[in-house]
């Protein structure tokens, strides 16, 4: 098969890493890719993720068999609908079902229809109406801009003043533009977060290894939210009893409702959960694999990942059971100084060759570019150092050993990735 992966982050590098090992793969492309991806996949030049026409022409010219979108934006814009008009196969949801991530209000509506446990909520399109509701309800609340905001559209507000400020930023200052034309105000849930990701053919689904992300910039889950500073798998928080509840109360009902509405969901479905007193509540849905969860999940999947995707495309998931290797995996994200705010690019990265041949160590590039034999920083999250270990503690130790061998000016990373899992040991 000729496969085109769309995206440029650590998630896409991890995808390319496992796809490159498939016996089904004939040639691998990635658009727009990054420095690390360029070593294992061909990077088409002159195309962007929003250039659907250009992507279509490239796929037809190169006879691409399968397109796998990594990030949410192409899916929410309808890349699958667009390419399938030319009979180009895309592994991901259509534009309608991608609204699970593209619109918080849509996702809440689907959850309501499906009876999925989630925080109580109200949707508003008017600042004054939202403010009046806030005055009556009080704090704490969570305020979410409806559309895609690059992970920055959620405000956890412990006081009414914080909530009023969030509403002003969204409605008055319009910091998210059209993505903030609606807001969801919901109750703040307490508990521990976890990620549950499945692969589905529209009717059947199979769970991928469990994982937990670290959203906050600083140790001990302090500081601003980020795209994710690291992840680990498995997440011992999700035991068999909880897994059953998630699949029966969250995943299966949502897939059933979407199918009933004439839009079977194909692809990866990500449920961002709050686990409160042993019960799962949905914080959000994503219509793709998580980042950096993917970097901790994919190395733990046994077998041919492209074969798994092919089976899902053929609607045959019911007869296939993905297997996990009996090891833990930890991914530590190394970011540029200033992230998630403004940061500099173009810093020389050294030490990558020192970890290249270390057993069970993978460096998944995100914000990098390669010129000659030298790698430079080219983004906020620069790379994720990922390690397998016989235990979570061993995986943590090995990941940080490798992190300490790689350097660039202003490099920052959390020192406590995976520590939450150790309390279950």
Confidence of residue 110 (pLDDT cuts 50, 70, 90): very high
> What sign does the CA torsion over 314, 318, 323, 328 have?
positive
Phi and psi of 31, rounded to 5°?
-130, 125
Share of the chain above pLDDT 90, in %: 94
Please tell me the predicted confidence (pLDDT) of residue 424.
78
Confidence at residue 248, expressed as pLDDT on a 0 to 100 scale = 97
Report d(CA 233, CA 300) in Å as an integer: 8
- 27-55 pLDDT, tens digit per residue, is 999 999 999 999 999 999 999 999 999 99
DSSP per position, 216-240:
EEEGGGEEEE-S-SEEEES-TTS-H
Say yes or no to pLDDT of 291 above 90.
yes
pLDDT of 224 reads: 86
Supply the pTM of this predicted model: 0.95
Would you identify the CATH topology of the domain 120-187? Dna Ligase; domain 1 (3.30.1490)
pLDDT at residue 423, rounded to an integer: 81
Q: Is the peptide bond before 340 cis (omega within 30 degrees of 0)?
A: yes
What mean pLDDT, rounded, does the chain reach? Answer: 96
Q: What is the mean pLDDT of residues 205-226?
A: 93
The pLDDT, as a whole number, for residue 5 is 98
Write down the pLDDT at residue 377.
98
Mean pLDDT of 262-279: 96
CB 207 within 8 A of CB 243: yes
pLDDT at 139 over 90: yes
- Report the pLDDT averaged over residues 278-306: 96
| Domain ranges (residues) in the chain | 2-93, 120-187, 192-422
- Summarised one tens digit per residue, pLDDT across range 309-323 is 999 999 999 988 889
pLDDT at 414: 98
151 has a pLDDT exceeding 80: no
Query: Which pLDDT band holds residue 152 (cuts at 50, 70, 90)?
Result: confident
Other Cβ atoms less than 10 A from the Cβ of 52: the count is: 17
pLDDT for the residue 207: 96
Say how far apart CA 406 and CA 58 lie, in whole Å: 36
Please compute the mean of the pLDDT values over residues 385-394 and round it to a whole number.
Answer: 97
Rounded distance, CA 215 to CA 293, Å?
A: 11
Superfamily of domain 192-422: ATP-grasp fold, B domain (3.30.470.20)
> What pLDDT does residue 383 have?
98
What is the number of other CB atoms lying within 10 angstroms of the CB of residue 402? 21
User: In this predicted model, what pLDDT tens digit does every residue of 227-259 receive, in sequence order?
Assistant: 899 999 999 999 999 999 999 999 999 999 999
pLDDT at 106: 97
Question: What is the predicted pLDDT for the residue at 176?
Answer: 94
- Architecture, CATH, for domain 2-93: 3-Layer(aba) Sandwich (3.40)
Statement: residue 425 has pLDDT above 80: no
């Amino acid at each position: 098969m000729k496969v085109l992966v769309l995206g440029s982050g650590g998630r896409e590098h991890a995808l390319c890493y496992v796809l490159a090992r498939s016996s089904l793969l004939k040639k691998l492309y990635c658009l727009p890719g990054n420095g690390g991806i360029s070593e294992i996949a061909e990077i088409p030049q002159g195309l962007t993720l929003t250039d659907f026409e250009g992507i279509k022409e490239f796929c037809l010219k190169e006879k691409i068999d399968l397109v796998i979108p990594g990030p949410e934006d192409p899916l929410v814009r309808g890349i699958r609908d667009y390419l399938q008009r030319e009979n180009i196969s895309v592994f991901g949801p259509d534009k309608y079902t991608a609204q699970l991530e593209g619109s918080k209000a849509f996702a809440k509506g689907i959850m309501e229809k499906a009876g999925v446990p989630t925080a109580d909520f109200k949707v508003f399109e008017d600042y004054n109406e939202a403010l009046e509701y806030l005055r009556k309800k009080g704090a704490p609340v969570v305020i979410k801009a409806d559309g895609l905001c690059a992970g920055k559209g959620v405000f956890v507000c412990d006081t009414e003043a914080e909530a009023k400020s969030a509403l002003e930023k969204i409605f008055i200052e319009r910091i998210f533009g059209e993505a903030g034309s609606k807001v969801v105000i919901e109750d703040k849930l307490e508990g521990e977060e976890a990620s549950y990701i499945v692969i589905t053919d529209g009717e059947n689904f199979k769970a991928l290894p469990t994982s937990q992300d670290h959203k906050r910039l600083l140790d001990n889950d302090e500081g601003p939210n980020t795209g994710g500073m690291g992840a680990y798998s498995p997440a011992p928080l999700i035991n068999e009893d909880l897994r059953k509840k998630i699949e029966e109360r969250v995943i299966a009902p949502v897939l059933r409702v979407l199918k009933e509405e004439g839009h079977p969901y194909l692809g990866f479905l990500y449920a961002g959960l709050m686990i409160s007193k042993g019960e799962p509540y949905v914080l959000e849905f994503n219509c793709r694999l998580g980042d950096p969860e993917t970097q901790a999940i994919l190395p733990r999947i046994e077998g041919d990942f492209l074969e798994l995707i092919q089976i899902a495309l053929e609607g045959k998931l019911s007869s296939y059971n993905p297997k996990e290797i009996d090891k833990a995996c930890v991914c530590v994200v190394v970011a540029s100084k200033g992230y998630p705010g403004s940061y500099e690019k173009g810093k020389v990265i050294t030490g990558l060759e020192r970890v290249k041949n270390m057993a069970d160590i993978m460096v998944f590039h995100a914000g990098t570019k390669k010129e000659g034999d030298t790698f430079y920083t080219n983004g906020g999250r620069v790379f994720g150092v990922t390690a397998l270990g016989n235990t979570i503690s061993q995986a943590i130790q090995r990941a940080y050993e490798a992190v300490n061998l790689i350097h660039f000016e202003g490099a920052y990373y959390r020192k406590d990735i995976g520590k939450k899992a150790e309390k279950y040991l």
